[in-house]
Amino acid sequence: MAIELGRSGVRFLWSIHRPVDAETTKLEEILPEEFLGRTKNRGIVYEWAPQVNILAHKATRAFISHCGWNSTIESLWHGVPIVTWPLYAEQRMNAFQLVRDLEVAVELALDYRMHDSDHHDIVKAEEIEKAIRCIMNNENSPRKRVKDMREISRKALMEGGSSFISLGRFVVTILDSCN
C-alpha cells in the first residue's frame, strides 16, 4: 500500500492500525524509508482517524475499506465510493454485494474462497494502482451510483421511508409481545 500511495500522486489520508503484538511504536519504523518525507505535501498518516468525520468531508473522494458492516454503511451514507479489500468473515459478502450487486465499489481484492488462518494473499502494488485510478475517475459508474445510493439511504430514514416504517413495525411487534 505504501509503495503505491508513494508513486500514485494522489492526495491521501491513511490510518494504519499496528498489530497488537507489534514491538515498534513509531510510524517511521513501520513504513518504507523516507515515505513520510516524500509524501508530506499530499498525504497524512495517522495511527487512528475519525472515520465518520473523514467520510463526511466533501474532499473525501474514495475509501479503501475492508468492507466491515459499519464502514460499508458509513461510506454509502456519505456517498463515498469504495475500493474493496475484505479480509475475513462477512467482509467478503459485503464486498461482493458492493461490487457486483450495487455497483458502488471497485474491486481490489475480492477472493471468495475460504482460506485457512495461515493463508495470506499478497495484493500487488499494480493492483492497488489500478483500483485507485479507477475509483478516482470522475466518469466511473461506482462514483455515480454511490451518489444515488446516498440519496436512497437518506430517504429510507425519513418519515414514510422504508427503514422508518420497518423500525416502527418492529417497535410495535416488541410492545405487543410484552402484553
Domains of the chain, each with CATH number or no CATH: 50-146 (3.40.50.2000)
Tell me which of 75-79, 85-89, 112-116, 144-148 is least confident.
Answer: 112-116
pLDDT at 119 over 70: no
Residues 122-135 have a mean pLDDT of 85
pLDDT of residue 8: 80
Give tens-digit pLDDT for 14-50: 998 776 766 666 788 888 888 899 899 999 998 889 9
Give tens-digit pLDDT for 58-107: 999 999 999 999 999 999 999 999 999 998 889 999 999 999 999 999 99
pLDDT of residue 22: 66
Q: Is the pTM of this model over 0.85?
A: no
DSSP conformation letters of 54-108: HHHSTT---EEE---HHHHHHHHHHT--EEE---STTHHHHHHIIIIIS--EEES
91 grid coordinates:
467482509
Three state DSSP letters for 1-27: CHHHHHHHCCCEEEECCCCCCCCCCCH
pLDDT at 147 over 80: yes
pLDDT of residue 110: 59
110 grid coordinates:
475480492
Average pLDDT, the chain: 87
Distance CA 176, CA 179 (A): 5
